[in-house]
């Protein structure tokens, strides 16, 4: 408890200290140092909890109406803390390289570092709070810090718009969260999450269902589930790369944390909640994956893939909920462990991909796929890490994305579902997941193939070169995590094991022994997968080494076969848009692939162009609805003349009748 | 359901399985080409011709495109390695595979996915619009056909309660609902074979026009040992899917009658190869825009099969 407080103070003081020095390098150094210190402090208490130690508890007296501030760090919160803080630190290291060119300018980099510290602070608060108001405070710090981090390049109007869009969305989410908390507070008369849980467990029914839906909406907005994702592609495209990485990989995982936390508070959710979560998540995964196909902007693409991946993680959590509802301990373990493992894995590979995309932006000053090409020869390290992250995000062996999806599949094909129809529904969800996997492989092939392979498409971009070590080191650290968690997935399991046990506590009569068998089975499966991945890697390396050793003379080089055409140029390579066109147009109901073109005409055509664009359908519809509402309100106010006394009297009459009706109904005078 | 196999038989079957996955691909290609030649009134190449072609390619020195990276050559070996690994998970002879564990079908599908990803990336590495086009087609066809395998596995799971691919496919015929589901299952597997191994009507391995190719255009710039690895991997994939059909339909019990079971499996695989050859001789490749509906149809049939299985299980 004291260590946690010390970490919070370190972060706060560090944030303030960042603002003071005169030179940007000192400001950044202070930020990094304070964050590193706080990370060590937090790890020293969170790691023992994750590895099976007792939960950390403490309380702090505070004035009314807040009351006793309770802090409780159990295995679930500690699991999120042990990777959130180190990853934020890595992001801050990356920021040194990314913002390097601003260091010598008038720009105050200290503010940025202070905000990164505040982000880390929000994790410590949210993941250890046992008090609803403290939870909301941490939630809000995260939202505001993320907004301010996004608008780093605030001089650009598009960036400001993206930031504002995010700010509005996250506060709409807050409204739902506050509404749910208000309902819970009125029933439990306490701000403690524990007493929320007591009421939730004891009172299944309409109100609990309502609370569940409110919470799911709020957390869905936070984690960018479909259809609450419309802020996400803009924010990720506008923010600096490390901010996008932290938002997508780390900050928005708080939504999933809160979801798991409240499911655990409910204890035994109803069966429909599990099915609802599975359906909702599958929809997110499928639509998110489809949207990655159409994007031209590398960072927008990665943003949509966040929607896809929270969907995949949510699928695992949904399976866990079903397990709780059916009282099946192995489903609970597989579902929650799989979902949380995917959260961890996604944090690893998504940050890595965003860092690689940021390196591309630093080197080439654009992330528009259609202008790039052939970067892997100029930026080999960046290309290698993008490829590694890409294989992981497509959930392919031998990397970490595969291990968590495997666990989720094993939950979906568990064979212990209640009734044949439930099994059929889970198999359909698994088929959806398979579709998502194939689509994300398509997008990654497209992104990596167009940006890093082939030859440069736009001669106006001067030859990019590899980025600085400040940026490469965090990228490679994430890459190492991706490989290690892929070959030794048991390591990941030890981190989520405690959280899975916590979920099991919701089952009646469950004890440590009941958790042992399914956890052990899962561990065996994962070590088998790890071994298989190792064998596959070794076999491929051996074959390749054998081939490259045997051919001593370098292979002769020749131009790419152009089917007999003698003068191909690099603009004739297949583009990202053409890659997506054939697939995307089959989903034109969901995916808006817009194109404007002027085809060359006649025997001696003068010019021609083709502009492709894939806007967000939800956002378009949202703005259309807002505009429509705006117009009808304006039309109504035009018709009503405010100086007309009849309108005023009429309105007053309606108001009086309404108030009288409410009073009569509320006091029960009619009964 | 079945007693575990005795260790000597297990060892023998493992050796046999590995040998079949290594050698059967050549015979499969030979049989396809022979049956195509028979329909065309020709004599056709020797059955082992593709083996001699492979050995010839292995001795050749490759020519690389000027824009390629090391990924280009490495990709071919990833494709081959992953396909060989997947082949060890698939049951060919009955309810048996050398690598067999719970939910191994996920590893099977995703290892093949890894192979496909590197096939596509190697193709993108040469920066040719033709290969880009082939890659885009391969990627989108896969997305339409990928759910079919998982729906099929789900159908078998409802019937058998098994969780390994070998158990699911090899023991499905014990389930009472199998009579109804066998035909759609074989159909779905056959379409999966056509898509994975790039055969007519999804793709035409013998076409001469780059614009109409899918798999062949992706290996257009490969030569020498890397081309050999790619072609071998494609043949292995065809063998694996033919083997799944064989394991599904095998009437003999592997534990009690190993010899007839193995012979029956080989005969069914050969029959599948002949069927592939006959389809190729009698039909043309579908128009490109009709291929995704054809593949989606397989997924739809699998989904209907799953619904039927659920209904039958619910009724029973």
| DSSP calls for A226-248 | TTS-THHHHHHHHS-HHHHHHII
Residues 546-605 of A with CB under 8 A from B: 547-548, 551, 553, 555-563, 568, 570, 572-575, 578-583, 586
Average pLDDT over residues A152-157: 91
Q: Which of B116, B130, B158 sits opposite A420 (nearest CB)?
A: B158
Map tokens 């025997």 to a residue.
A603
Measured CA to CA in angstroms, residue B242 lies from B29, B155, B235, B303 at distances of 12, 19, 11, 21
In angstroms, the separation between the Cα of residue B74 and the nearest Cα of chain A is 6
User: A166 is written with which tokens?
Assistant: 């995010």
What is residue A666's three-state secondary structure? helix
- Average of per-residue pLDDT across A37-43: 95
pLDDT for B1 equals: 42
When CB atoms are compared, the residue of A387, A431, A578 closest to B154 is: A431
User: Which residues of chain B neighbour A449 with C-beta distances below 8 Å?
Assistant: 120-121, 124-125, 132, 135
Q: Coil, strand or helix: which one is B182?
A: helix
Q: Is A633 on the interface with B (CB under 8 A)?
A: no
Query: pLDDT band for position A124 (50/70/90)?
Result: very high
Q: How many beta-carbon contacts under 8 Å exist across A and B?
A: 253
Q: Chain A residues with CB inside 8 Å of B21's CB?
A: none
Give one word for B84, left, alpha or beta, with left for phi > 0 and alpha for psi -120 to 50.
alpha
Q: Is A434 on the interface with B (CB under 8 A)?
A: yes
Burial of A426 (0-12, 13-18, 19+ CB in 10 A): buried
The pLDDT of residue A621 is 86
Flag the least confident range among A351-360, A374-383, A628-637: A628-637
CA–CA gap between residue A317 and residue A499 (Å, rounded): 12
| Predicted local distance difference test score (pLDDT) of residue A152 | 92
With vertex at residue A262, the alpha carbon angle to CA A260 and CA A263, rounded to the nearest 5 degrees, is 65
Tokens of A4: 């946690």
Give me B4's structure tokens. Answer: 């575990």
Which residues on chain B are in Cβ contact (under 8 Å) with A556?
A: 61, 63-64
Q: Which of A536, A575, A577 to mutate to test the interface with B (most CBs of B within 10 A)?
A: A536
Q: A460-499 burial, b if ≥16 CB within 10 A, otherwise e?
A: ebeebebbeeebbbbbbbbbebbbbbbbbbbebbebbbbb
DSSP per residue over chain B, as a string? -PPPPPHHHHHHHHHHHHHHHHHHHHHHHHHHHHHHHHHTT-----TTHHHHHHHHHHHSPP-EETT--HHHHHHHHHHHHHHHHHHHHS-SSSS--SS--TTHHHHHHHHHHHHHHHHHHHHHTT--HHHHHHHHHHHHHHHHHHHHHHHHHHHHHHHH---SHHHHHHTGGGSTTHHHHHHHHHHHHHHHHHHHTT-TTT--TT---GGG-SHHHHTTT--HHHHHHHHHHHHHHHHHHHHHHHHHH--S-TTT-HHHHHHHHHHHHHHHHHHHHHHHHHSPPPPGGGHHHHHHHHHHHHHHHHHHHHHHHHH-
Which of A:357-416 have CB within 8 Å of B? 373-374, 376-377, 383, 387, 391, 394-397, 402, 405-406, 409-410, 413, 415
- Taking an 8 Å cut-off on Cβ atoms, the answer to whether A415 and B161 are in contact is yes
Helix (H, G, I), strand (E, B) or coil at A68: coil
CB contact under 8 A, B131 and A574: yes
Residue with tokens 């966040």: A306
Which residues does chain B have within 8 Å of residue A582's beta carbon, measured at their own beta carbons? Answer: 136-137, 140, 288
Burial (0-12, 13-18, 19+ Cβ within 10 Å), B271: middle
Summarised one tens digit per residue, pLDDT across range A418-451 is: 788 899 999 999 999 999 999 999 999 999 999 9
How far is it, in rounded angstroms, from Cα A497 to Cα B72? 40
Instruction: Look at A445 and B150 and tell me if their CB atoms are within 8 Å.
Output: no
Min Cα distance A386 → chain B (Å) is 13
Judge: B63–A557 Cβ closer than 8 Å, yes or no.
yes
With a CB cutoff of 8 Å and minimum separation 6, the contacts of A58 are A1, A2, A4, A70, A71, A72
Residue range A612-636: average pLDDT? Answer: 86
User: Domain-by-domain residue ranges, chain A?
Assistant: 1-130, 342-545
CB contact under 8 A, B65 and A529: no
Q: Does A538 touch chain B (CB under 8 A)?
A: no
Give A-chain residues touching B131 at CB under 8 angstroms.
Answer: 574
CA distance B266 to B272: 10
Those of residues 214-253 in A touching chain B at CB distance below 8 A are: none
> What pLDDT is stored for residue A485 in this prediction?
92
Exposed / middle / buried, residue A171 (Cβ in 10 Å: 0-12, 13-18, 19+) = middle
pLDDT at A669: 63
CB A521 within 8 A of CB A490: no
Q: Which of A282, A388, A441 to mutate to test the interface with B (most CBs of B within 10 A)?
A: A441
In terms of Cβ atoms closer than 10 Å to its own Cβ (0-12, 13-18, 19+), residue B101 is middle
> Is the pLDDT at A514 greater than 70, yes or no?
no
pLDDT (tens digit per residue) in A235-259: 999 999 999 999 999 999 999 999 9
* ipTM associated with this complex: 0.96
Buried b (16+ CB within 10 A) or exposed e, B170-198: bbbbebebbeebeebbebbbbbbbbbbbb
Q: Give chain B positions within 8 Å (CB) of A408.
A: none
Which residues of chain B make contact with A453, given a CB cutoff of 8 A?
69, 71, 121, 124-125, 127
Residues of B in contact with A583 (CB under 8 A): 136, 139-140, 143
Residues of A in contact with B313 (CB under 8 A): 420, 423
> What was the pLDDT predicted at A523?
86
Extract the tokens encoding A55. 């939960």
Q: Which residues does chain A have within 8 Å of residue B127's beta carbon, measured at their own beta carbons?
A: 373-374, 453-455, 560, 570, 573
Q: Show the tokens assigned to A312.
A: 């995949």
What's the mean pLDDT in A341-356? 96
CA distance B272 to B242: 6
3-state SS, residue A597: strand
Please check whether residue A305 is in contact with residue A293, taking contact to mean a CB–CB distance below 8 angstroms: no
Closest CB to B143: pick one of A405, A439, A579.
A439
Mean pLDDT of A4-10: 92
Tell if the CB–CB gap between B128 and A525 is shorter than 8 Å. Answer: no
Indicate yes or no: CB of A544 within 8 angstroms of CB of B74: yes
Q: Which of A316, A420, A446, A584 to mutate to test the interface with B (most CBs of B within 10 A)?
A: A420
Which 3 state secondary structure label does DSSP give B127?
coil
Contact B82, B111 (CB under 8 A): yes
Kindly identify which residue of chain A lies nearest to residue B103, measuring between CA atoms.
Answer: A410
CB contact under 8 A, B127 and A409: no
- Find the range with the poorest average confidence among A330-339, A510-519, A650-659, B35-44: A510-519
**In chain B, which stretches have pLDDT less than 50?**
1
Residues A536-568: tens digit of each pLDDT: 888 888 877 877 776 556 788 888 887 777 777
Which pLDDT score, from 0 to 100, does residue A447 have?
95
Predicted model pTM: 0.94
**How many residues are given for chain A?**
671
Radius of gyration of chain B (CA): 19
Phi, psi of B154 (to 5 degrees): -60, -40
CB contact under 8 A, A427 and B151: yes
pLDDT of residue B153: 93
Q: From residue A439, how far is each of A357, A393, B50, B103, B120 by CA, in Å?
A: 20, 11, 33, 22, 13
Distance from CA of B283 to the nearest CA of A (A): 24
Among all residues of chain A, which has the CA nearest to that of B120? Answer: A445
Write phi, then psi, for A398 (nearest 5 degrees). -100, 30
């Amino acid at each position: 408890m004291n260590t946690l407080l010390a970490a919070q103070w370190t972060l706060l003081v560090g944030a303030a200290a960042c603002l003071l020095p005169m030179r940007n390098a000192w400001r950044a150094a202070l930020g990094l140092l304070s964050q590193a210190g706080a990370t060590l402090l937090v790890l020293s208490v969170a790691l023992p909890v994750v590895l099976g130690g007792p939960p950390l508890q403490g309380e702090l007296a505070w004035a009314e109406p807040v009351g006793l501030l309770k802090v409780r760090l159990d295995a679930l919160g500690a699991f999120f803390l042990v990777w959130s803080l180190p990853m934020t630190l890595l992001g801050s290291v990356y920021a040194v390289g990314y913002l390097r060119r601003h260091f010598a300018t008038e720009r105050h980099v200290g503010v940025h570092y202070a905000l990164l510290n505040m982000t880390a602070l929000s994790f410590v608060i949210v993941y250890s709070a046992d008090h609803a108001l403290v939870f909301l405070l941490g939630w809000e710090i995260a939202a505001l810090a993320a907004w301010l981090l996004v608008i780093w390049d605030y001089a650009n109007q598009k960036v400001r718009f993206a930031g504002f869009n995010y700010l509005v969305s996250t506060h709409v989410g807050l409204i739902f969260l506050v509404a749910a908390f208000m309902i819970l507070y009125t029933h439990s008369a306490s701000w403690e999450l524990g007493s929320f849980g007591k009421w939730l467990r004891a009172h299944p029914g309409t109100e609990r269902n309502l609370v569940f839906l409110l919470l799911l909406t709020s957390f869905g907005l936070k984690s960018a589930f479909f259809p609450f994702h419309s802020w996400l592609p803009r924010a990720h495209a506008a923010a600096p790369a490390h901010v996008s990485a932290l938002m997508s990989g780390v900050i928005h995982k708080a939504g999933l944390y809160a979801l798991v936390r409240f499911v655990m508070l409910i204890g035994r959710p109803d069966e429909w909640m599990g099915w609802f979560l599975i359906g909702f998540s599958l929809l997110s995964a499928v639509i998110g994956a489809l949207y990655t196909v159409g994007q031209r902007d590398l960072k927008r693409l990665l943003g949509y893939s966040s929607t896809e991946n929270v969907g995949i993680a949510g699928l695992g959590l949904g399976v866990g909920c079903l397990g709780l509802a059916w009282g099946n301990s192995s489903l609970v373990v597989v579902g929650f462990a799989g979902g949380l493992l995917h959260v961890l894995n996604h944090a690893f590979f998504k940050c890595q991909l965003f860092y690689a995309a940021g390196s591309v932006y630093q080197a080439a000053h654009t992330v528009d796929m259609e202008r790039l090409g052939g970067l892997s020869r100029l930026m080999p390290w960046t290309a290698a890490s993008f490829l590694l992250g890409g294989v992981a995000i497509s959930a392919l062996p031998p990397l970490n994305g595969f291990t968590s999806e495997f666990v989720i599949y094993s939950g979906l094909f568990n064979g212990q579902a209640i009734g044949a129809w439930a099994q059929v529904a889970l198999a359909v969800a698994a088929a959806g997941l398979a579709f998502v996997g194939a689509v994300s492989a398509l997008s990654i092939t497209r992104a990596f193939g167009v940006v890093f392979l082939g030859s440069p498409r736009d001669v106006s971009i001067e030859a990019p070169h590899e980025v600085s070590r400040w940026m490469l080191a965090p990228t490679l650290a994430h890459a190492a995590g991706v490989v290690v968690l892929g070959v030794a997935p048991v390591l990941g399991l030890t981190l989520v094991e405690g959280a899975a046990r916590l979920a099991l506590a919701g089952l009646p009569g469950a004890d440590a022994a009941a958790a042992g068998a399914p956890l052990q089975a899962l561990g065996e499966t994962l070590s088998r997968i790890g071994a298989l991945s190792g064998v596959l890697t070794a076999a491929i390396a051996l074959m390749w080494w054998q081939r490259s050793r045997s051919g001593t003379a370098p292979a002769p080089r020749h131009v790419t076969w152009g089917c007999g055409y003698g003068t191909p140029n690099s603009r004739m390579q297949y583009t990202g848009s053409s890659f997506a066109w054939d697939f995307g147009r089959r989903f034109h109901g969901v995916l808006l692939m817009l194109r404007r073109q002027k085809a060359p005409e006649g025997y001696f055509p003068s010019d021609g162009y083709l502009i492709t664009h894939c806007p967000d359908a939800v956002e378009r519809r949202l703005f259309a609805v807002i505009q429509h509402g705006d117009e009808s309100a304006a039309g109504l106010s035009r018709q009503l003349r405010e100086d007309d006394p009849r309108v005023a009297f009429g309105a007053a009459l309606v108001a009086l009748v309404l108030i009288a009706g409410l009073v009569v109904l509320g006091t029960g005078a009619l009964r | 359901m079945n007693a575990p196999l005795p260790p000597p038989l297990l060892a023998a079957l493992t050796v046999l399985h590995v040998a079949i996955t290594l050698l059967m691909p050549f015979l499969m290609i030979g049989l396809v080409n022979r049956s195509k030649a028979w329909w065309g009134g020709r004599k056709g190449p020797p059955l082992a011709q593709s083996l001699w072609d492979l050995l010839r390619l292995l001795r050749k020195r490759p020519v690389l495109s000027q824009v390629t990276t090391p990924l280009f050559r490495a990709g071919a070996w990833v494709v081959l390695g992953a396909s060989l690994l997947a082949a060890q998970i698939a049951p060919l002879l009955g309810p048996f595979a050398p690598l067999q564990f719970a939910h191994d079908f996920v590893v099977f599908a995703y290892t093949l996915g890894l192979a496909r990803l590197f096939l596509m990336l190697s193709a993108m590495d040469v920066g040719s619009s033709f290969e880009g086009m082939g890659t885009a087609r391969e990627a989108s066809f896969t997305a339409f056909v990928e759910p079919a395998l998982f729906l099929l596995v789900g159908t078998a799971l409802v019937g058998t309660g098994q969780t390994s691919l070998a158990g699911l496919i090899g023991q499905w015929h014990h389930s009472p609902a199998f009579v109804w589901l066998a035909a759609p299952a074989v159909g779905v597997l056959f379409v999966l074979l056509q898509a994975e191994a790039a055969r007519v009507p999804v793709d035409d391995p013998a076409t001469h026009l780059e614009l109409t190719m899918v798999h062949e255009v992706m290996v257009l710039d490969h030569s020498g040992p890397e081309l050999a690895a790619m072609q071998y991997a494609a043949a292995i994939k065809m063998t694996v899917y033919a083997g799944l059909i064989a394991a599904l339909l095998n009437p003999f019990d592997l534990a009690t009658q190993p010899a007839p079971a193995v012979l029956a499996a080989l005969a069914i695989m050969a029959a599948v190869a002949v069927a592939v050859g006959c389809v190729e001789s009698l039909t043309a490749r579908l128009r490109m825009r009709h291929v995704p509906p054809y593949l989606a149809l397989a997924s739809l049939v699998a989904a209907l099969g799953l619904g039927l299985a659920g209904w039958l299980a619910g009724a029973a």
